[in-house]
Chains A and B, each alone.
Chain A
Amino acid sequence: MTLLCLRVHRSAGVSAAPIPAILTQSDLLGSHLDLAAEMIHSLFLINHSGDIFLEKHWKSVIGRSVCDYFFEAKEKAVDPENVAPVLQTPHHYLISIYRGKLFFLSVIQTEVPPLFVIEFLHRVADTIQDYFGECSEGIIKDNVVTVYELLEEMLDNGFPLATESNVLKEMIRPPTILRTVVNTLTGGSNVGDTLPTGQLSSVPWRRAGVKYTNNEAYFDVIEEIDAILDKSGTTVFAEIQGVVEACVRLTGMPDLTLSFMNPRLLDDVSFHPCVRFKRWESERVLSFIPPDGNFTLMNYHVSTQNLVAIPVWVKQSISFFETGPCGRLDITVGPKQTMGKTVESLKVSIHMPKTVVSANLTATQGNYTYDLATKVLVWDIGKLNPQKLPNLRGSVSTQTGAPKPEDNPSLNIDLKIQQLAISGLKVSRLDMYGEKYKPFKGVKYLTKAGKFQVRT
């Protein structure tokens, strides 16, 4: 409101006289390339050091200079992880993801759901991973034409076309040593020439005519504990991210039903499109016709505090002296709620303050390394023996003359527990309908630490 009252004089802005645009025939009739209303206009793949090594345009070609805005943001963010995923430039939006030390950068010209774009970019990365076993600059360059063909197949005019791995693999076959050799010798092709059967059926994720001599269905229940513990070891926050990964190689059109002993644990789930949601709602069973091969059947989330068991305790003291360039460190780890299982691959990482230059410690078990560049101290413990608790202690030295560090280091814990889903989730049975043979079935459980952090 003050605006209406306290007016101040400012010098008037004078703008340059408009220059009439020169028109060519193609400008007028037909090619309005500047305002294409598609969703994803272009994709650039950029490596860690900022080189563009692949570009794909679904419509007109957009100059690489558009990426300069991204490079600027990348420069500013210092760590590649910190580059904001949505950037605004005068004429475009840049939406990017960071996967496997690569940036997948898409250029957007119109209002588009950003999640849509981000999900799609992750799908591109997943597909590359799936096809070539890894998603890296080297592997993409090695298979550039296949990647290009894949991108063309995945998106048409900015609309996702085929993103299901099964469908894609029928259209563009993934490379194998044998096929590459045969193709090279015979001039064969790795592009399928018939319409993938899954494309249009009501089960687009599965192709018809699948045949196996050994019919098997494996399910891995993997849970990650995300937690923050405070100085005294009290849980500030804890939740479990669970996922059921499946590897199904079954002949024909099997219809599976997977049931749990305690489905009530799961109140927040997201499913692969193959899962029949109605049956889950009414009976709490997973009923589905599975895709062929590896896929993620279900993600779930357990956040009720009392259900989240914390498998280890950490006793730590890290202190820096007011005077003198050093500090003391003493860490002990012990088992807490492990349900009688062994904690393996235990690892503690500590982000030290910037001024710490070296560490002189003794570990009763495992060994430690201090990376001067990243300021991360990693103590690799291995298996946790409840009888003899591992301890790491000693002194750390800081730069001479540097003030006492202000920020407290924070500990990240890594661990694994085999044959345990820490939430207590258990599969009770798997039934198959629609086919006559007897498949081989198996369930594995694994608990891992996700973002597991202890504050000091």
Chain B
Amino acid sequence: MSRFSLQIHCEASLILTPEGTLIRWENRQFGSKMTDSKYFTTTKKGEIFELKAELNSDKKEKKKEAVKKVIASMTVGKDVSALFPDVVNCMQTDNLELKKLVYLYLMNYAKSQPDMAIMAVNTFVKDCEDPNPLIRALAVRTMGCIRVDKITEYLCEPLRKCLKDEDPYVRKTAAVCVAKLHDINAQLVEDQGFLDTLKDLISDSNPMVVANAVAALSEIAESHPNSNLLDLNPQTINKLLTALNECTEWGQIFILDCLANYTPRDDRESQSICERVTPRLSHANSAVVLSAVKVLMKFMEMLPKDLDYYGTLLKKLAPPLVTLLSAEPELQYVALRNINLIVQRRPEILKHEMKVFFVKYNDPIYVKLEKLDIMIRLASQANIAQVLAELKEYATEVDVDFVRKAVRAIGRCAIKVEQSAERCVSTLLDLIQTKVNYVVQEAIVVIKDIFRKYPNKYESVIATLCENLDSLDEPEARAAMIWIVGEYAERIDNADELLESFLEGFHDESTQVQLQLLTAIVKLFLKKPTETQELVQQVLSLATQDSDNPDLRDRGYIYWRLLSTDPVAAKEVVLAEKPLISEETDLIEPTLLEELICHIGTLASVYHKPPSAFVEGSRGVQHKRLPGSAGSGESVESPDPGSAAGVTEAPPAVIPSQGDLLGDLLNLDLTPPTTTGPPPAPSSGMQLGAMDLLGGGLDSLLGGDLGGSAAMGAGFSAPPATMPASFNAPVSGGLDDLFDLGGGVGMPMGAYSPAKSIWLPAMKAKGLEISGTFARRAGVIQMEMTLTNKAMSVMSDFAIQFNRNSFGLAPAGPLQVLTPVNPNQSIEVSLPLSTVGPVMKMEPLTNLQVAVKNNIDVFYFSCQYPISMLFVEDGKMERQVFLATWKDIPNDNEAQFQIKDCHLNSDAASNKLQGSNVFTIAKRTVEGQDMLYQSTKLTNGIWVLAELRVQAGNPNYTVSLKCRAPEVSQCVFQSYEAMLKN
């Protein structure tokens, strides 16, 4: 057999290769009948015709062969839909294989031939009554896969019967079918009461039926985030736990994922669930194991830490996680991404398992990189020697990405484990000696961080670093080197020469390097003013006059003004003692981590992004949270989502390693905010040329009366020395003032609602004209329409339906047109909308497709609603949360827009926006520009943060929007424009 088929395969593929050429392979050998590869050998022309003839053959065997050929063509992506009627004709047969094949075909093509598909309905209905349960199940299963509404109507009765079938195999198939039907027509499923039947199946005697019912309900619940479908209470939980032991591995995954959504009433219930879930950790299926880990990680939060069982559970979690790492590499990858979360939340679980994360030579690169990351997270004083030895080994491997990451990891070790710093530095120096270009550059970047963590300790290595100056060609490495030179300028004799050499190609450098060079030269100047006056003037003029980069220009001006007005303050600011950088530079923000822990095993956990970031299919964002722990004496969970981060431990003070670029300037940012009111005239100093700028201030600096000049710039209220190490703290001091706006924003005005426009012209709808608009009143979205009858006959029996849309808008009730509409009559209707309908991402996002029915026909149109309809009333964010969120959303998500010709002042704008639930949280005025910080929440829980800049006298506003789902920014901007100009 194997020889035969091998030979045939060779022949077959020979014929397959020249795609599209006409080669007819007639193989009369007996052996050719034994494999399916013959189905691949078809001619281009005449193929369909031949198949048609064979399908209509009287011989059963020939028919079956023909259907097989059709299926084979389908599997390789050929279009054989033209054979639809002929294939359907083969459906009525008692040969189960033939029946299955036809069913397979039907599922694929029914949609393209809805009228033909209806021919199959009778057979389906008949098969649903067949004495053989296999056929009953097959029929109901297939019908559910045929997404043609005419067929769907016929499905209800058979489905109802099958849900109550005596045979559990049929019941479990029917349970899944409800989910399919819901996907096609959710309303129908609700109306027919299938959801209740499905809920009843959770109590079924057969565990497989229970598992499928849970799976189906979970799926349905996902598209209905607010519905209380899976009403989890201790009784249902008990049923699920019982079924858990007996159902298939896949069913166990569904049940475990469902359990993870439950919040136990107390620690005792929590423990008892944990005890019953723990055996799943020994399952051979890794998905079962990881789902069990999720349940345990979540419920563990509720257990008091002094409980014996808590310790036992911690111990039990390690071995299964380790075992996942001996599985196939793809499984390892997912496991590692999740372990990364677990070690951040509970490092104690795997603290003794460092060695399993050691990288093997033949691990795929994606596994290697993940292992490295976890090694750093687990590094501690106890194991640092081992880790360093490993990392050094990795730094000589072949793969460049991996080597770079290994070098970086050495730096992170130094910062994390103080005792190891010296060894790390000497390892890095060894690596620099290899002169391998990318190794040297990575090493310099991390050494800069080590300097920041341990100042005045390892500066002796600077000389070695300087030797490699010429080989640095990556911006990050160049910037790091420049920073080092500037920071230690007083110890480097030729610091000015070194920096000057960089200055030559200033305009060719990347922004990062330019900014760093500017700061470094200013530092140098403040340290050695006599020799470097020319240099500093050169860099300031390069930055302010020859550059079109606003960041660079602004910073240049700031330095310049500082140096010219108050050099002592400049020194205090620029050479301020910097906060030490924290060890964990890449920890996931605690609230996000909590949420991700609740989603262990999902795609969100692989991408380390909140599920809400997966806007596609945005099934209303349910933010999952870890339950608070009981009885362990920890602080009670606060209702405020922002401060909840601190439930178990205070949020770590984190300064991103790149933050030092601006860290020097931190104080500058905190000049006392100008109170609201008419903005001051722009400072004339800024407009002056270079000559004036280096005026008296510099003279006094050069005059050497540094110490004597006690006059601190009025702006510098916070002495640098007291700058706390926390990133948040210094800012909040300044921003407190900013945020003291409180309720001073004035009374909100009414919500914005656009004027009515014609949605459906009479020409297209047999005389029915619909114009309309949307409004939000008292928290309810209203669709306001004018229906005009421009036809000759009376219109009645109006009904309305929406297609799925991005935010789940759906009519909250029927369309209330109580009286018939006479010719030439118009009536006004207001339709309240809910946002719990089925969700599908639309293009554009706010597009709504509507069907309106009357006694004449069904009409379709689409319209767009202003996204401001979705701004909810409780969209006012706490300021601290606002700050944290703004920081947390990646800069890539920021979008900036201009609003032209808007003649409101900032207060009026703020009032106007508040009317539409855009809340101003803070306001500050800088250089005559009012900055409003605003928050908005959409009905599906997406937050949009905004910064609105209004310059007095300038009708052009600038809006910057930040949102975790950047897709909405464009719409929100449009609404801003509409609301402000209205």
Contact = CB atoms under 8 A, between A and B. Distances in A.
A76 to B, nearest CB: 11
Contacts of A118: 286-287, 328, 330-331, 334
A194 interface: yes
A20 B862 contact: yes
Interface stretch (A140-148, A387-395, A436-444): A140-148
A451 B933 contact: no
Interface stretch (A1-9, A319-327, A360-368, A417-425): A1-9
A451 B804 CA distance: 51
A414 interface: no
A115 B287 contact: yes
Interface in A66-123: 77, 79, 81-82, 84-86, 88, 91, 93, 96-98, 108-116, 118-120, 122
A8 B219 contact: no
Contact of A191 (B37, B97, B333): B97
Interface string B277-304: 0010011111101110000000000000
Interface string B887-918: 10001000111100000000000000000000
A455 interface: yes
Contacts of A38: 183, 219
Contacts of A157: 144-145, 176-177, 179-180
Interface string B89-105: 00000011110110010
Contacts of A57: 108
Nearest to A267: B319
Given A21-B849, A145-B68, A271 B282 contact: yes
A59 interface: yes
Contact of A412 (B9, B72, B287, B361): B361
Interface string A1-32: 11111111110110100111101111111111
A194 B137 CA distance: 12
A32 B95 contact: no
Given A21-B843, A57-B108, A113-B602, A142 B611 contact: no
B422 interface: no
Interface string B211-251: 01001000100110000000000000000000000101110
Given A12-B897, A110-B617, A299-B323, A184 B34 contact: yes
Contacts of A5: 668-669
B365 A82 contact: yes
B115 to A, nearest CB: 12
B334 A55 contact: no
B572 to A, nearest CB: 18
Interface in A176-191: 176-177, 180-181, 184, 187, 189-191
Contacts of A406: 396, 434, 436
Contacts of B9: 138-139, 141-142
A359 interface: no
A36 interface: yes
Nearest to A85: B330
Interface in B899-955: 931, 933, 947, 949
Contact of B77 (A31, A64, A156): A64
Contact of A111 (B145, B554, B614, B886): B614
Given A13-B896, A55-B76, A200-B206, A193 B132 contact: yes
Interface in B858-887: 858, 860-864, 883, 886-887
The binding surface of chain A is classed by DSSP as mixed
Nearest to A125: B328
Nearest to A351: B361
Contacts of A271: 282-284
A277 interface: yes
B61 interface: yes
A358 interface: no
Contact of B606 (A19, A23, A114): A114
Contacts of B206: 200
Contact of A113 (B366, B601, B851): B601
B173 interface: yes
Contact of A277 (B279, B286, B389, B554): B279
Given A30-B148, A52-B77, A406-B434, A112 B603 contact: yes
Given A27-B803, A31-B111, A84-B333, A237 B358 contact: yes
A55 B96 contact: no
Contacts of B249: 163, 273
A453 B360 contact: yes
Contacts of A373: none
A401 interface: no
A337 interface: no
Given A23-B862, A194-B132, A237-B358, A111 B603 contact: yes
Interface stretch (B409-417, B457-465, B788-796, B834-842): B834-842
B804 A32 contact: yes
A263 B75 CA distance: 49
B586 interface: no
B320 A268 contact: yes
A407 B398 CA distance: 6
B75 A13 contact: no
Q: From A4, A113, A200, A277, name the one whose CB has the most chain B CB atoms within 10 angstroms.
A: A113
Given A12-B897, A15-B970, A453-B361, A96 B330 contact: yes
Contacts, number: 386
Contacts of B931: 4, 7
A281 B71 CA distance: 49
B223 A195 contact: no
Contacts of A108: 603
A299 B603 contact: no
Contacts of A54: 75-76
A85 B333 contact: yes
Contact of B75 (A12, A56, A281, A410): A56
B542 interface: no
Nearest to B360: A451
Contact of B290 (A32, A113, A156): A113
B356 to A, nearest CB: 7
A217 interface: no
A343 to B, nearest CB: 21
Contacts of B555: 6
A37 interface: yes
Given A28-B851, A187-B61, A144 B40 contact: yes
Given A115-B287, A301-B322, A191 B96 contact: yes
Nearest to B862: A20
A303 B356 contact: yes
Interface string A270-282: 1111000110110
A115 B320 CA distance: 14
A68 to B, nearest CB: 14
B168 interface: yes
B963 to A, nearest CB: 14
A3 B149 CA distance: 52
Contacts of A8: 550-551, 554
A142 B37 contact: yes
B287 A4 contact: no
11 contacts: A20-B864, A56-B75, A86-B334, A111-B602, A115-B334, A187-B61, A193-B96, A226-B326, A268-B323, A270-B323, A455-B393
The 8 closest A-B pairs by CB, nearest first: A12-B898, A268-B319, A30-B149, A5-B669, A191-B97, A85-B330, A18-B844, A142-B35
Interface of A: 1-10, 12-13, 15, 18-21, 23-38, 52-61, 64, 77, 79, 81-82, 84-86, 88, 91, 93, 96-98, 108-116, 118-120, 122, 133, 138-139, 141-146, 148-149, 152, 156-157, 159-160, 163-164, 176-177, 180-181, 184, 187, 189-195, 199-200, 202, 204, 226, 228, 230, 236-237, 239, 241, 267-273, 277-278, 280-281, 296, 299, 301, 303, 351, 353-354, 406-408, 410, 412, 451, 453, 455
Given A19-B844, A351-B361, 10 more contacts: A1-B731, A3-B891, A5-B669, A7-B960, A18-B844, A26-B111, A37-B183, A37-B619, A113-B253, A115-B331
